[in-house]
Chain A
Amino acid sequence: MSAVDRSAPAHEIRERFGFWKRSYAMLIKEFIQLRRDRVSFAMIVMLPVMQLLLFGYAINTTPHNLPSAVLLQEDSDLARSVLKAMENTAYFRFIYEVHDVDDFDNLLKSGKVLFGVEIPRGFERAVRRGDKPALLVAADATDPVAASAALGSLGMLVQTALAHDLYIGNPPEMPFEIRAHARYNPAANSSLNIVPGLVGTILTMTMLIFTALSVTREVERGTMEALLSMPIKPVEVMFGKIIPYVLVGFIQAFLIIGIGVLLFSVPLFGNVLLLALLSTLFIATNLSIGYTISTLVLNQLQAMQMSMMFFLPSILLSGFMFPFAGMPVWAQYVGECLPLTHYLRIVRAIMLKGATMQNLRYDTLALAALMLVAMTIAVTRFRRTLD
């Protein structure tokens, strides 16, 4: 052990092909490192697979079976035929039947249905008399893409509805008309849909990354060891790390909404305070999820990668880029687990529809529940020791 063994002959160094040898050395090293980095490796496989599956199976730009409500003021055979015909187009799926106008409006406002059909009192009699009554179809046009195809199908509807109704026959003239009303966004202006959506998307991305890096950064810089040796509890670390960014997120939301209102003339019909309150909840939820990520990963690169893995489905399955109602049921369930889904409903409903807390109870509760779940995981996962 006292001296280095010098018995081996010195190795020769040759300058030929130096460029290739050095490049090769680098290449070998990169491959070894890549193989050891499990998360990067997972990312290489998961990202394309996830994208393909989501775009292939979950995303549908001409959505069918859209949730609809009917305000039934007359329960006649003709009314039933019309509703049946609408369902037969495969665009509409009636999940609510109400008899009160307020209930009808609230269903649309809260986003529980995308369409509402109003069958007026005395509809069948008016048709028989040849009065050509109007059948009102109200569409939630905050997402113009989701509504347009379904609205387009209404033109042919009168004939098909009557073809099956032998009682009235097949008259040469239209016995009634269907009047479509695109609520909240009559001009189908896409910026009205996109700007509120961007508030949620941008907040998701920035908030996640801020806190996803916070714990790993302390571990990487070596400050975590000192922090753990001091009398501070995991919950205290978490609150201390989350609260400053709530303010950051709030400023961000204020900026985006301000620009949207001033430059893109996006209306803000609802209560500003309610929007601020629920935005704060959404910001805190994302920060908690980011923080949870940072307790699960080993370094900052992994934290970024995991944030990406969370961000991607958030954009695709939340209803930001593609209509939520058009997705298959399993994808909708996944979407319900993403905070962005709920916030998009909230922010669109408050800004464009003037919704109140009453309309948004479900989404608010969902956000709060997601936040609590994330915080619980984070606090239990936070390593109090270096074991």
Chain B
Amino acid sequence: MNAGNDIAIDVKGLTKSFGGREVVHDLSMQVKRGSIYGFLGPNGSGKTTTIRILCGLLTPDSGEGTCLGYDILKDADKIKRQVGYMTQRFSLYQDLSVRENLEFVARLYGLTDARGAARDMINRLGLSGREEQLAGELSGGWKQRLALGACTLPSPKLLLLDEPTAGVDPKARRDFWNEIHALAAEGLTVLVSTHYMDEAERCHEIAYIAYGHLLTRGTVEEVIAGSALTTYTVTGEDLNDLTGALTGKPGVDMVAPFGTSLHVSGRDVAALEASIAPWRDKSGLHWHKSAPSLEDVFIELMGRSKDNFQG
């Protein structure tokens, strides 16, 4: 196995089932140290399960690999010391104050000066003046920041963030991502799962997972280029009718409304163009060929994987 120093996560063939249903199937991935790795995929695609396997919260049915050079099957205790895991659901104690929560984490990891470490983190998070507030009373954005602070308090080498910005306003999301980039610049490796395309574009590398299968990975440009998708954007009237008419036509893999426009995409350019030809010259409709967005690529991947893996 490649235990190279520049690889933080290196896993092969991870498989995990719950009650006979395979949630993660033969998943392999490599994450470079110091990089921000985006983990994308629809709900229930196995992102959370994969993250839990990586930090030792779940045991894979099969597969092997290392996390920070430690065996994920045997050295869960060593991994836990160096990994900060931010759960999808807020998992700090709601009935403890900001300071008490941070001091609890600091003590649990055995920091020599728990109070000092908590105080420094409160300052770094900009929570001074609120340290005695109960964690449960913080707003969504502040809760996420506090949770991130708690994860980074014991100076981990790897951060696993499970949909950290779900339900957080855009400003707080941007601040959060600035913080993640700052941490990565300090040498921290970050694996972050998300549903937001703008967040995916802020990652150094992304992987797309659906129904437990890793479908594509690479930089954003590589993923878009690799999709070989042709997209036409249509604007105009009666787009609802057009959606109904085009769906299912040969070569049309995807029809997706975007506000006042419609994205019509397909992998087979010739078939796609043949199918849309009758509507190309219709008055009131404006067509132009465009590069597919990351979202187009993912939605197309999702539709395709549904056919493949769900029968």
Please indicate whether A and B come from the same complex rather than being unrelated chains: yes
| Residues in A lying within 8 Å of B, measured CB to CB | 1-3, 221-223, 225-226, 228-232, 385-387
Asked if A223 meets B92 with Cβ closer than 8 Å, knowing A229-B85, A231-B80, A232-B108, the reply is yes
Query: B243 touching A229 by the CB < 8 A rule?
Result: no
- A234 CB to nearest chain B CB (Å): 12
Known: A1-B306, A226-B91. A231 touches B81 (CB 8 A): yes
How far does the Cβ of B167 sit from chain A's closest Cβ, in whole Å?
A: 15
Which residues of chain A have C-beta atoms less than 8 A from B55's C-beta?
229
Q: How many Å from the CB of B25 to the closest CB on chain A?
A: 17
Known: A231-B108, A385-B57, A385-B59. A2 touches B87 (CB 8 A): no
CA–CA, A230 and B56, complex, Å: 10
A1 to B254, CA, bound (A): 9
Residue-wise, chain B 41-85 has the 8 Å CB interface mask toward A (1 for contact) of 000000000001001111100000000000000000100110101
A137 to chain B minimum Cβ distance, whole angstroms, is 60
Please encode chain B, from 235 to 267, with 1 for each CB lying within 8 Å of some chain A CB and 0 for all others. Answer: 000001001100100000011110000000000
B105-155 CB contacts (< 8 Å) to partner A: 105, 108-109
Which B residues are in CB contact (< 8 Å) with A386?
Answer: 52, 57-58
Expressed in whole angstroms, the Cα–Cα distance for A222 and B108 within the complex equals 18
B83 touches A229 (CB 8 A): yes
Cβ A385 vs Cβ B56 within 8 A: yes
Listed A/B pairs (30) with beta-carbon separation below 8 Å: A1-B303, A1-B306, A2-B243, A2-B247, A2-B254, A3-B247, A221-B91, A221-B93, A222-B89, A223-B92, A225-B57, A225-B89, A226-B85, A226-B87, A226-B92, A229-B56, A229-B83, A229-B85, A229-B87, A230-B105, A230-B108, A230-B109, A231-B81, A232-B108, A385-B59, A386-B52, A386-B57, A386-B58, A387-B58, A387-B59
A229's contact among B57, B89, B247, by CB below 8 Å, is which?
A: B57
Given A3-B244, A229-B55, 9 more pairs with CB closer than 8 A? A223-B91, A223-B93, A225-B87, A225-B89, A229-B57, A231-B81, A232-B108, A385-B59, A386-B57
B90 contacts A by Cβ under 8 Å: yes
Nearest CB of chain B from residue A300's CB, rounded to whole Å: 15
- Interface residues in B253-311 by Cβ distance below 8 A to A read 254-257, 303, 306
CB pair B92–A231 under 8 Å, yes or no, is no
Instruction: Enumerate chain B residues within 8 angstroms of A221, measured Cβ to Cβ.
Output: 91, 93-94
Complex CA gap A3/B303 in Å reads 13
Distance A53 CA – B47 CA, assembled complex (angstroms): 52
Nearest chain-A residue to B77 (Cβ)? A231
Residue ID in chain B nearest A233 by CB atoms = B77
Residue pairs across A and B with CB atoms within 8 Å: the count is: 57
Complex CA gap A231/B94 in Å reads 21
- The SS class assigned to the A binding surface is loop
Q: Contacts A229-B85, A232-B108, A385-B59 hold; do A2 and B256 have CB atoms under 8 A apart?
A: yes
Interface residues of chain B: helix, strand, loop or mixed (majority): mixed
For A228, list chain B residues within 8 Å (CB): 57
Residues of B with C-beta under 8 A to A2: 243, 247, 254-257
Whether B254 pairs with A230 at a CB distance below 8 angstroms is no
Which residues of chain A are within 8 angstroms of B59 by Cβ–Cβ distance?
385, 387
Give Cα A228–Cα B55 distance, bound, in whole angstroms. Answer: 10
Nearest 9 pairs of A and B residues by beta carbon: A226-B91, A229-B85, A222-B89, A231-B80, A222-B91, A231-B81, A225-B87, A386-B57, A2-B255
Give the distance to chain A from B29, nearest Cβ to Cβ, in Å.
19
- Residues of A contacting B52 in the complex (Cβ-Cβ under 8 angstroms): 386
Q: A223 CA to B94 CA in the complex, in Å?
A: 9
With both chains docked as a complex, state the minimum distance between the C-beta of B91 and any C-beta of chain A, in angstroms. 4
Question: Min CB distance, A386 to chain B, in Å?
Answer: 5
Kindly provide the distance from the CB of A287 to the nearest chain B CB, expressed in whole angstroms: 21
Q: Complex Cα distance A221/B93, Å?
A: 8
Given A229-B80, A229-B85, do A3 and B57 touch, yes or no (CB 8 Å)?
Answer: no
Q: How far is the CA of A387 from the CA of B254 in the complex (A)?
A: 37
C-alpha gap A2/B257 in the complex (Å):
8
On chain B, the residues within 8 Å of A229 by CB distance are 55-57, 80, 83, 85, 87
Counting chain B CB atoms within 10 Å of each CB, which of A1, A225, A226, A228 scores highest?
Answer: A226
A229 to B92 alpha-carbon distance, docked (Å) = 12
Closest to A236 in B: B108
For residue A222, which residues in chain B have a CB less than 8 angstroms away from its CB?
A: 87, 89-91
Assembly CA distance A385 to B77 (angstroms):
12
In the complex, what's the smallest C-beta–C-beta distance from B93 to chain A, in angstroms? Answer: 6
Set of chain B residues within 8 Å of A387, measured between Cβ atoms: 58-59
Please measure, in the bound complex, the distance between the C-alpha atom of A3 and the C-alpha atom of B243, giving whole angstroms: 8
A203 to chain B, nearest CB (A): 26
The docked-state distance in angstroms from the alpha carbon of A191 to that of B211 is 68
Complex Cα gap A386–B306 (Å): 27
Please report the C-alpha to C-alpha distance between residue A230 and residue B92 in the assembled complex, in whole angstroms: 12
Please indicate the chain A residues that have their CB under 8 angstroms from the CB of B87 in the complex: 222, 225-226, 229
Bound together, the chains give a CA A385 to CA B49 distance in angstroms of 12
Chain B neighbourhood of A225, CB < 8 A: 57, 87, 89, 91
Q: For residue A3, which residues in chain B have a CB less than 8 angstroms away from its CB?
A: 240, 243-244, 247
Q: Is the CB of B109 within 8 A of A231?
A: yes
Chain A residues contacting B58 (CB-CB under 8 Å) are 385-387
Residues in chain A near residue B255, CB distance under 8 A: 2
| Chain B neighbourhood of A223, CB < 8 A | 91-93
Q: How far is the CA of A229 from the CA of B85 in the complex (A)?
A: 7
Expressed in whole angstroms, the minimum distance between the Cβ of B65 and any Cβ of chain A is 16
Q: Across the interface, which residues of A come within 8 angstroms of B256, CB to CB?
A: 2
Complex Cα–Cα for A228 and B87 (A): 11
Q: How far is the CA of A221 from the CA of B303 in the complex (A)?
A: 35
The residue on B at minimum CB distance from A3 is: B243
CB distance from A28 to the nearest CB of B (A): 26
B44 CB to nearest chain A CB (Å): 15
B192 → A minimal CB distance (Å): 16
